[in-house]
Amino acid sequence: MARRDGNPEFVQSLERGLAVISAFGPDAPEMTISEVAEATGTTRATARRFLLTLEQLGHVRSDGRKFSLTPDVLSLGYAYLSSLEWWQIAQPPMEDVVRELQESCSAAVLSGKEVIYVQRVTAATRIMSINLGIGTRLPAEATSLGRVLLSHKSPEVLDRYLSEITPKAYTDRTKLDPKEVREAIETARLKGYALVDQELETGLRSLAVPIYDRTGRILAALNVGTHAARTRLDEMTSRFLPVILEASRKITAQLPRQ
C-alpha cells in the first residue's frame, strides 16, 4: 500500500497498471519493456510484470519484443460509457445537429486538466489534423468544451486549475496569459456558451454549450466545430448556437428525473 495524499487505502500497484495502459497512444502504439518503463517512471522489472499480467488478461499482446494494446482494453472505457444514462440519449439530438449544420458534433467531460470525448457524431468533412473520437483528450483551457466545463467550477477549483497549468501555444491565437484564459472562462459562464477561434488549430472554430441534468447540474459539454474558411465568426452565434442549444435542451428533457 502506498499513501497517496495520506490515504492508507491507495493502491499504488493499481495506479501503475493503469499508467502502463495509458502510456500507449497514437505516438506510441507499440513499445518495448524498456520504453514502457521510461514512459511510466518505473523499473524495467516492474514494467515487465505489469505487461505480462495485462497480456494474460487479454488487454495487451506481444510479438516477442514489442507490446501493444488489444481491442479488449476498450471494455474498460465502455464500462464507463455504458453507465452514463445520457450517453445514448444524446446520440439522436447530436445526429440532428450534424444533419442541419453538416459539421461534426461532440460531447465531452472534464478529466483532470483535459477534456475527454465520450460521444461523437462525425460529418463527412474533416476539420482537424488529428483524428477525433471517443477517448480523445484535449487541453481544457484551449477548447470550447473545456471552457464551458471549467466555467461551472467554483472559484477555488478554477484558481487551482489555472495555477497548475502552463498554456501551450498551439497557434498564434492561443491565449497564454492565465488572466486571458480566466476571462475567456468567465465569458463562457456569463454567456452560457464558449466560442474558440483558431486557438487549438489554425482554421478551426468551435462552439460549445453545457448539457445539464434535470436538477440543473452540468453533466457534460456539447460542441460543434467548423473550418474558418467555411463559416464566418458571426455565423457561429447566429446560425450554429441555436441549433446546438436545442440539442442540449432535448438531451436534458429526455433524461430521467432523479
Instruction: Provide the pLDDT for residue 242.
Output: 97
CATH number of the domain bearing residue 149:
3.30.450.40
Radius of gyration of the chain (CA): 20
**In this model, does residue 189 exceed pLDDT 70?**
yes
Number of domains in the chain: 2
Whether residue 166 sits in one domain with residue 101: yes
Q: Is 121 within a domain?
A: yes
The sheet that has 204-212: what strands, in order across it?
Answer: 137-139, 114-121, 105-111, 218-227, 204-212, 194-197
Residue at which a domain ends, from 50, 72, 94? 72
Residue 118 is given by DSSP the state E
pLDDT score of 192 more than 70:
yes
Predicted local confidence at residue 84, as pLDDT: 61
220, β-bridge pairs: 211
- The answer to whether 115 touches 229, Cβ cutoff 8 Å, is no
Residue 1: per-residue pLDDT: 34
Indicate the range of 128-132, 160-164, 191-195, 207-211 predicted with least confidence.
128-132
Boundary (domain end) residue, out of 26, 49, 72:
72
Instruction: Say if residue 66's pLDDT is above 90.
Output: yes
Domain boundary among 72, 101, 119: 72
Q: What is the pLDDT of residue 103?
A: 94
Q: Is 136 helix (H, G, I), strand (E, B) or coil?
A: coil
Asked whether residue 4 is assigned to any structural domain, the reply reads no
Name residue 240's amino acid.
F
Are 94 and 66 contained in the same domain?
no
Do 160 and 190 belong together in one domain?
yes
Residue 2 lies in a domain: no
Element containing residue 49 per DSSP (H, E): helix 44-57
- Over residues 193-228, the pLDDT tens digits come to 999 999 999 999 999 999 998 888 999 999 999 999
More confident: 240 or 125:
240
161 and 111 belong to one structural domain: yes
Answer yes or no: do 119 and 151 share one domain: yes
> Buried b vs exposed e over 228-257: b needs ≥16 C-beta within 10 Å?
eeebeeeebeeebbebbbebbebbbeebee
Task: Read off the amino acid at residue 83.
Answer: S
**Are 92 and 60 in the same domain?**
no
| Pairing of β 60-62 and β 114-121 | unpaired
Contact between residue 186 and residue 151 where contact means Cβ atoms under 8 Å apart? yes
Whether residues 116 and 171 share a domain: the answer is yes
Q: How far apart are CA 11 and CA 2, in angstroms?
A: 6
Domain that holds residue 39: 12-72
Give the mean pLDDT of 49-72: 92
Whether residue 129 sits in one domain with residue 63 = no
pLDDT tens string 224-243: 999 999 999 999 999 999 99
- What predicted TM-score, i.e. pTM, was given to this entire model? 0.71
Axis-axis angle for helices 44-57, 12-23 (nearest 10): 80
Tell whether the model's pLDDT for residue 124 goes beyond 80. no
23 plus 150 within the same structural domain: no
pLDDT for the residue 247: 97
91 and 167 inside one domain = yes
Q: Is residue 231 part of a domain?
A: yes
Establish if 136 belongs to a structural domain: yes
**Across all residues in the chain, what is the average pLDDT?**
89
Q: Is residue 152 domain-shared with residue 60, that is, in the same domain?
A: no
| SS3 assignment, position 47 | helix
DSSP state of 143: S
